Structure 1
Amino acid sequence: MGATRQRREDRAEVILDAAEALLRRSGSRTLTIDAVAAEAGLSKGGVLHHYASKDALVTALAARKVERMSEGIGACAEALRGDPAALPLAMIAHARGVYAEECGFPDSLLVATAENDQAVAIMRGFLDGNLASIRDVEGHEGAGAALLFAVLGLMMSRSLGFHALEGEELERLFSALEAQARALPRQRET
């Protein structure tokens, strides 16, 4: 890869990092091209060169979030290869691992994404892909899909401020979800 192309890709990441920092700190209402440019130490034109609009920026943020989630879930699933419950267990392990560190960003990204059809399509693709993987193992959408939606519901309801579960309360929920996931192979055999 040429040095110029690498610098361009690095600058695109700097812009996404700046947008993410703004979302964490101040929420989706403050996400403007001008604010991102100031946060990144770039000109407005520099940001627009990479992301032609706020919608393009939000779409790129959603794509990066899905990529990171997929990588995290994939790493957890790899450790469980061969287990029919690998995907639900990996989703639970990933959610458990990122729950505390992601405070502030997912809620703002969730709000920004909901207003952006392309970003919604990216998130929908992530969900559809995981449902298809569960269907491949189970033969249908059943308990594994229910666990997927339970994990997403726990994370999204936190992101939206519907609960502030932490510590033991949260650990009990994750443990209950994990116990249900571990019971999946026996459920399919009966």
Structure 2
Amino acid sequence: MTKARTRREDRPAIILDAAERLIRRSGTRTLTIDAVAAEASLSKGGVLHHYGSKDALIQALAERKLSVIRDSIAAHEAEQGPDPAALPLALIAHARQIYADEEGFPRALLLASAENPEAFAGFNAFLKERLAQMEDVACCPGAGAVLTFAALGLLLTRTLGFHTIEGADLARLFDAMERIARDLPKGGTDTGPR
């Protein structure tokens, strides 16, 4: 494989990396095709060849982020083994892992995606699928959804800058969610003492 061919094949990732750097540095106000092209050291036409518009670029960034989330949750779920609470525990573990890691980019992506709701179609489908899976596991309808939205609420309120919980306070919240997930009655309809 030639160097030029490898470079062409790498261009979509190079473009997305450049767009992400721009968003992290200055938010969505600097996210233009021209700015991404300059950041990626490509021509505007090169960027437009892969992403025909700013909306397409935002959608690709959202899809890439969703891929990372899916992989992380799948890895956390695999660590749980055959436990019926594996999915809610995996979602909570993922939220705990990224709570402190998410700086700048998710907020900007969230705000950019508000202008382009289609960019979140993959997230919406993913969430709907996971919530349906949890309803099949727990005999307490809605309990898995409550845990999911509790974890999402922590992430979103931090991402939007409404609050930041740190240290022992944050650990207590995530520990409590994990205890609740582990204590959910599994299968059947027996909700009596165990």
* Normalised TM-score (structure 2): 0.89
Alignment of 1:26-175 (within 5 A): 26-138=26-138, 141-175=141-175
Instruction: Tell me, yes or no, if the aligned pair for 2:88 and 2:144 is still in contact at 8 Å.
Output: yes
Moved over 4 A (4+): 1-6
Structure 1: gaps spanning 5 or more residues: none
State the Cα distance separating 1:135 from its structure 2 match. 2.0
Aligned-pair identity in percent equals 59
More moved, 54-63 vs 112-121: 112-121
Residue 92 of structure 1 aligns to a residue whose secondary structure is helix
What is the alpha-carbon distance in structure 2 between the residues aligned to residue 177 and residue 139 of structure 1? 17
Equivalent position of 1:15 in the other structure: 15
What is the alpha-carbon distance in structure 1 between the residues aligned to residue 148 and residue 5 of structure 2? 38
Residue 62 of structure 2 aligns to a residue whose secondary structure is helix
Instruction: Tell me, yes or no, if the aligned pair for 1:84 and 1:185 is still in contact at 8 Å.
Output: no
Equivalent position of 2:179 in the other structure: 179
Residue 52 of structure 1 aligns to a residue whose secondary structure is coil
More moved, 48-57 vs 168-177: 168-177
What is the alpha-carbon distance in structure 2 between the residues aligned to residue 145 and residue 166 of structure 1? 24
- Higher helix share goes to which structure? 1
RMSD over aligned Cα atoms: 2.1
Q: Per-residue CA shift, 1:107-149, capped at 9, x if unaligned? A: 1111111211321212211111111211222367511111011
Structure 2: gaps spanning 5 or more residues: none
Q: How many residues align?
A: 190
Task: Mark the CA change 1:45 to 1:134 in structure 2 (over 3 Å): closer, same or farther.
Answer: same
In the alignment, residue 75 of structure 1 is paired with which amino acid?
Answer: A
What is the alpha-carbon distance in structure 1 between the residues aligned to residue 48 and residue 185 of structure 2? 50
What is the alpha-carbon distance in structure 1 between the residues aligned to residue 169 and residue 38 of structure 2? 40
Larger Rg: 2
In the alignment, residue 163 of structure 1 is paired with which amino acid?
Answer: H
* Normalised TM-score (structure 1): 0.91
Task: Mark the CA change 1:2 to 1:121 in structure 2 (over 3 Å): closer, same or farther.
Answer: farther
What is the alpha-carbon distance in structure 2 between the residues aligned to residue 86 and residue 14 of structure 1? 35
In the alignment, residue 98 of structure 1 is paired with which amino acid?
Answer: I
Residue 101 of structure 2 aligns to a residue whose secondary structure is coil
Task: Mark the CA change 1:139 to 1:172 in structure 2 (over 3 Å): closer, same or farther.
Answer: closer
State the Cα distance separating 1:100 from its structure 2 match. 1.7
What is the alpha-carbon distance in structure 2 between the residues aligned to residue 45 and residue 170 of structure 1? 46
Q: Per-residue CA shift, 1:30-55, capped at 9, x if unaligned? A: 21111111111111111111100000
In the alignment, residue 22 of structure 2 is paired with which amino acid?
Answer: L
